[in-house]
């Protein structure tokens, strides 16, 4: 194949002094505490230190880092206020503090600065997603994207492409099998191929199946599979459907095959990374997360809940108890939708890891990979 060259010039830049533009809060929490500069400094320092080390953070260490030269006593008082308001907790009486889900949420919404990926990282992303292997097929691109997310984040990388029913039909083929079964081969304009076997009550010859396939391809050029299905359902009410055998066959075969194949694929890489993290040292908790990652429907729901109904390229973050699934109350989800340049969504990607995750870097990583991913599909290189 001829390799296409893409000039992908993408930057991840947030405005200073406000919540990052590429971050959407999935849940806002309110409290009566007033955040002055000192509290922001202490909470930010605790979150960054805990993310880096995994250890509780004591007042002595914070005093050494303090830009305002705060004393240990002042820091202890500030920590007590933050803890009372739900932003910090401490695992033991004598231990230092660690962030709560609410503390992480405030950090993500208010204390993260510009997320700039290193040049080495952006070069790696382009090399992996723009090489001939990734451009050979949408399936291979999605596999490599989930693997790249996992490798660069050190967590679980997920890619959920849209259902093939949301893509434009290129060709469809019906192959007669035994026992009133029919093999349906659907190819989208983007190059995605889906094979499925449906069972029908009516008896069809191969010639009838070929004629029906030609009718669909010629009549619905440029239509998405979902739009074709809806049109077939609408035509069921027309009188013509009762005596036009070709239309009747098309309605039966197309509506059933698209309906049965309307589940998106899910690409998950890096589940083994969970095992190596001390945050999942509890075996029951680890098993629950790993089990969830094996269930495609739950993964789709997870990313859909995180991103929500947003129709722009914002990066959404769900932290701990903000996730509806109790199995993920110890996890953070960072996800976004991917788009064509025309604004049409082409799937969702994300990272799942412990709440003690590198939010600033991984928000930038997910955002950048999503943009490259969308650009590749947009150019129709397959």
Contact call for residues 103 and 347 (beta carbons, < 8 A): no
Task: Place 233 in a pLDDT band, splitting at 50, 70 and 90.
Answer: confident
pLDDT range class, residue 265, cuts 50, 70, 90: confident
- Which of 12-21, 277-286, 360-369 has the least mean pLDDT? 12-21
Q: Calculate the average pLDDT of the chain.
A: 81
Supply the pLDDT for residue 351.
96
Question: What pLDDT score does 203 carry?
Answer: 86
Q: How far apart are CA 380 and CA 223, in angstroms?
A: 17
**Across 16-24, average pLDDT:** 36
pLDDT band at 48 (very low <50, low <70, confident <90, very high): very high
* Beta-sheet strands, E only, within 225-310: 267-269
Q: Rounded to whole angstroms, how far apart are CA atoms 263 and 252?
A: 19
Using one digit for the tens of pLDDT, what is the confidence trace for 91-130?
Answer: 876 678 999 999 999 999 999 876 789 999 999 999 998 8
Distance CA(289)–CA(325), nearest Å, equals 10
Range 175-191 average pLDDT = 86
| pLDDT at residue 66 is higher than 80 | no
Q: Which residue would you say has higher pLDDT here, 277 or 136?
A: 277
Sequence-separated (6 or more) residues with CB below 8 Å from residue 168:
188, 189, 190, 222, 223, 224
How many residues comprise the chain? 382
Q: Mean pLDDT across the stretch 238-256? A: 69
- Count of beta carbons in the 10 Å neighbourhood of residue 50: 21
With contact defined as beta carbons under 8 Å apart, do 172 and 184 qualify? yes
- The whole-angstrom separation of Cα 303 and Cα 16 is 28
Domains located in the chain, CATH noted: 27-111 (1.10.10.10), 119-162+264-378 (3.30.450.40), 165-260 (3.30.390)
**Angle between helix 359-378 and helix 119-129 axes, rounded to 10 deg:** 30
Determine the average pLDDT of the residues in 259-278: 79
Task: Determine the average pLDDT of the residues in 345-356.
Answer: 88
Largest distance between two CA atoms of the chain: 88
Q: What is the pLDDT of residue 380?
A: 53
How confident is residue 283, by pLDDT bands cut at 50, 70 and 90? confident
Q: What is the mean pLDDT of residues 300-313?
A: 78
The set of residues, in sequence order, having a beta carbon less than 8 Å from that of 96 and lying 6+ positions away, is: 55, 56, 57, 58, 59, 61, 90
Residue 21, pLDDT score: 37
Whole-number percent of the chain with pLDDT over 70:
81
Closest alpha carbon to 370 in 108, 8, 14: 8
**How confident is the model at residue 26, as a pLDDT?**
41
Residue with the larger pLDDT of the pair 29 and 182: 182
What is residue 250's predicted lDDT score, i.e. its pLDDT? 80
Asked whether 346 and 322 are in contact (CB, 8 A), the reply is no
111 secondary structure, DSSP code:
I
């Amino acid at each position: 194949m001829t390799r296409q060259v893409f000039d992908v010039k993408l930057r991840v830049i947030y405005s200073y002094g406000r919540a990052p533009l590429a971050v959407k809060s999935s849940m806002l929490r309110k409290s009566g505490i007033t955040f002055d500069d000192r509290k922001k400094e202490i909470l930010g320092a605790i979150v960054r230190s805990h993310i880096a080390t995994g250890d509780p953070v004591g007042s002595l260490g914070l005093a050494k880092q303090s830009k305002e030269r705060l004393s240990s006593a002042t820091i202890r008082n500030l920590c007590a206020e933050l803890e009372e308001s739900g932003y910090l907790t401490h695992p033991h009486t004598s231990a230092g503090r660690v962030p709560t889900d609410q503390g992480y949420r405030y950090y993500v919404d208010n204390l993260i600065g510009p997320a700039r990926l290193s040049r080495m990282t952006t070069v790696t992303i382009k090399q992996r997603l723009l090489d001939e292997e990734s451009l050979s097929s949408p399936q291979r691109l999605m596999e490599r994207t989930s693997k790249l997310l996992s490798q660069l984040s050190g967590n679980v990388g997920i890619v959920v492409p849209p259902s093939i029913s949301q893509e434009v039909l290129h060709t469809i083929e019906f192959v007669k099998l035994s026992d009133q079964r029919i093999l349906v081969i659907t190819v989208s304009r983007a190059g995605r191929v889906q094979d499925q076997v449906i069972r029908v009550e009516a008896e069809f010859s191969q010639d009838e199946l070929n004629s029906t396939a030609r009718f669909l391809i010629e009549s619905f050029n440029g239509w998405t599979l979902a739009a074709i299905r809806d049109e077939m359902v609408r035509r069921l009410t027309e009188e013509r459907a009762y005596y036009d055998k070709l239309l009747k066959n098309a309605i039966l075969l197309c509506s059933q095959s698209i309906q049965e194949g309307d589940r998106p694929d899910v690409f998950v890489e890096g589940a083994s990374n969970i095992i190596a993290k001390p945050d999942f040292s509890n075996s029951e908790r680890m098993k629950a997360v790993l089990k969830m990652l094996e269930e495609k429907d739950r993964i789709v729901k997870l990313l859909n809940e995180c991103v929500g109904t947003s129709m722009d390229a914002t990066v959404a973050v769900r932290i701990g108890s903000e996730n509806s699934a109790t199995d993920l109350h110890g996890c953070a989800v960072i996800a976004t939708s991917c788009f064509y340049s025309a604004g049409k969504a082409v799937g969702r990607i994300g990272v799942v890891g412990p709440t003690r995750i590198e939010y600033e870097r991984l928000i930038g990583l997910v955002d950048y990979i999503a943009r490259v991913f969308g650009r590749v599909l947009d150019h129709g290189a397959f």
